[in-house]
Amino acid sequence: MTSDRKTMVVKIGSSTLVGADRALRRDFIADLARQASELADAGWNLVVVSSGAIACGAPVLGFASKPTDMPSLQACASVGQCVLSAAYDEEFRARGLLTSLVLLTRHDTARRNSYLHARDTLTRLVELGVVPVVNENDTVTVDEIRFGDNDTLAALVSCLVSADLCVTLSDIDGLYTANPMEDPTAAFIPRVEKIDAGIIASAGDSSTSVGTGGMITKIRSCRILMTAGIASVICSGSEPNVLVRLAAGEQVGTLFVPPVERLDIAPRKLWIALGDSTHGSVTVDAGAADALVRRGSSLLPVGITQVEGAFSAGDTLDVRDERGLTIARGLAQAGSDELKLAAGRHQDEIASNRLLAALAGKPAIHRDEMIVFA
C-alpha cells in the first residue's frame, strides 16, 4: 500500500442488508462490490463493517422473528455469518476483489496487546489489497464482552486502520434536529463541526426490528472519530453510488468534520476510548470539567461530585459534566469504593485519612490515561 492511497471504512446496518422479506439483499452487496472496484481504481482501500449475521440466520433456521434467548441468537449468528461471508466472497470475487472475514469481541480489544495484534492484521490485509469484512463475533459473545453495536465497532476499526473516512449506511439519510418519523418539523443537519449536548439530544432510538443501534450510538461513535481526526458520514444505504460520490468529495448525508488542526491523540488514548467497555462513570463539577477540556489536566478527587458503577483500578470510566454529557474517558487510578470516599476531598484530607492514604498525591484519572473528546 502506497502512502498516497486513502482508506474508507463503511459500516452497513442490518436494515440495509436485509429486506422487509427477511432475505439478504444480494443486489446491494453486488453494487457494493462494484463501488469497491471503482474506489480501488480511484486510490481508495475499503474496509467493510457488516451487521446482519443474526438477521440472515434467523429465517434459515426457521425462526418467524428474531429470537430473544442467547443460545438461539448465537445459533442464528453462526449460520448467518456463513450466509453473509459467502455472499461477500462471491460478489466481490466477480469484481476481481478478495475479501476476508475478521470477527472481533471486546475480549480481543480490551487487552492492549490483543488490540495491537488486531490493528496489525487489519493493516496488513489492507496493504495486500484485501477488503476485510469485519463483524462482532456474535456466536460466542456474551454481554460482558459485547461491543453492543457495530457503530462502535466501525469507529474502532477506523482508528485501527487510520481511516480517512468512515461511512455509516443506515435506513435514514442523516442527522435531524429530531426524529423525522415522529416530528414533521425536524430539520436535516448536513454538517456537524462539534457534537454538543444539543446534537446528542436530537438523536433517537433505532426504528427497525432487525437492528440493535440507534442514532445515539452513531453520534457517540462520530464524536470519537472527530477526536481522532477522522471525518465520518451518516447517510442512507439506498443512496445510489454513495461511496464513490463521497470519495469524490460530494456532500451526501450528514458530514461530521474533525477539528481543522488534527488533534495529537496518542494511539494508546484511542485504545482507551474504544478498546474496552466502560465499567462506571464519574461526574465532575464545572471547574474540573474546564480543567480537563481546556487545560488537559488530570482529574483530581476534589472535582468529583458523583461516582457510579462498581469498578476496580485500571477499569475504563466515562467522565461526565454536570449536564450528564460525557466529556472524557480514562482509566481509574482507584476502585469505586475508594473514589466514593475520596470524591470532593482535597489532597490534604485524603492524606490524613487512613482509609484513603494510598490515594494521597494521586489523581483519580491521570491525564496520560485519559482522552478528552472533541
Q: Kindly report whether the global pTM for this prediction surpasses the value 0.95.
A: no
pLDDT per residue over 193-251, tens digit each? 988 888 887 775 433 333 334 788 889 899 999 999 999 999 999 999 999 999 999 99
Q: What is the pLDDT of residue 142?
A: 52
* Residues contributing to the annotated binding site for ATP: 11, 170-171, 212-218
pLDDT per residue over 13-25, tens digit each? 888 999 888 899 9
CATH of the domain spanning 6-256, picked from 3.30.479.20, 3.30.230.10, 1.20.1080.10, 3.40.1160.10: 3.40.1160.10
For the chain, the structural domain boundaries read: 6-256, 278-372
* Residues contributing to the annotated binding site for substrate: 51, 138, 150
Strand, helix or coil for residue 281: strand
**Interior angle at CA 333, CA 327 and CA 335, nearest 5:** 100
- Residues with Cβ within 8 Å of 329's Cβ and at least 6 positions away in sequence, in order, are 272, 273, 278, 316, 317, 318, 319, 370, 371, 373
Number of H helices, E strands in the chain: 14, 15
**CA 181 centroid distance within chain:** 24
Q: Are strands 304-308 and 280-284 parallel, antiparallel or unpaired?
A: antiparallel
Strand, helix or coil for residue 169: strand
Q: So what's the architecture of 278-372 in CATH?
A: Roll (2.30)
- The sign of the dihedral angle between the CA atoms of 209, 133, 103, 57 is positive
**277 pLDDT above the threshold of 90:** no
- The sign of the dihedral angle between the CA atoms of 66, 72, 77, 79 is negative
Phi/psi of residue 354, nearest 5 degrees: -60, -30
* Residues contributing to the annotated binding site: 11, 51, 138, 150, 170-171, 212-218
Beta bridge partners of residue 18, listed in sequence order = 24
Question: How far is 282 from 319, CA to CA, in rounded Å?
Answer: 5
HSE-up of 165 (CA within 13 Å, CB side)? 25
**302 pLDDT above the threshold of 70:** yes
Q: Are strands 175-176 and 188-189 parallel, antiparallel or unpaired?
A: antiparallel
